[in-house]
């Protein structure tokens, strides 16, 4: 189910929802196979009863309609594959991530200065401590320096 978190300007949308928004931007007719997605967008107040897009998703829709750069990050793990990445437009940057098995992704605005960190978090780089006791000591020292 699509949703908006207006306080943090993030949206949760599936590809079908994005398809509906794209068609509406171009004043197109929504095909029958996307009628359910349109209904969900209305229920989430992303669309009004006349299929007008609310102001909250405008930056995302504008960025997706004319992207300058799209980066796709695919991760495969024991729960399946996920698709993530940033979409960079003239005025806005959004990153999107999904959970394994979920059709929807969370779209979050990102500042250019934080884009590298956002990409890094998407691929989950971490240290693999083979000696758990030694690794725990090193981690404790690092955390102690942060909080102590």
Spatial separation of the C-alpha atoms in residues 144 and 124, rounded to whole Å: 23
Judge whether 24 and 35 are in contact, CB under 8 Å: no
| Sequence-ordered list of residues with C-beta below 8 angstroms from that of 63, at least 6 positions apart, any chain | 87, 88, 89, 91, 92, 93, 94
* In the chain, where the domains are located: 3-123
For the stretch 93-104, pLDDT in tens is 999 999 888 889
Asked if residues 131 and 138 have their Cβ atoms less than 8 Å apart, the reply is no
Nearest to residue 57, comparing CAs of 82, 23, 94?
94
Give this prediction's pTM.
0.79
pLDDT at 90: 94
């Amino acid at each position: 189910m699509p949703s908006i978190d207006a306080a943090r300007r993030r949206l949760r949308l599936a590809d079908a929802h994005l398809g509906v928004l794209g068609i509406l931007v171009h004043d197109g007719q929504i095909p029958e196979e996307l009628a359910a997605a349109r209904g969900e967008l209305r229920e989430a107040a992303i669309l009004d009863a006349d299929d007008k897009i609310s102001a909250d998703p405008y930056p995302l829709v504008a960025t997706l309609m004319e992207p300058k750069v799209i980066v796709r990050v695919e991760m495969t793990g024991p729960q399946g594959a996920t698709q993530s990445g940033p979409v960079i437009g003239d005025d806005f940057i959004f990153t999107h991530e999904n959970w394994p098995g979920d059709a929807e992704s969370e779209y979050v605005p990102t500042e250019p200065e934080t884009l590298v960190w956002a990409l890094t978090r998407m691929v989950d780089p971490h240290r693999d401590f083979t000696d758990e006791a030694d690794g725990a000591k090193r981690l404790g020292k690092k955390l102690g320096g942060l909080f102590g």
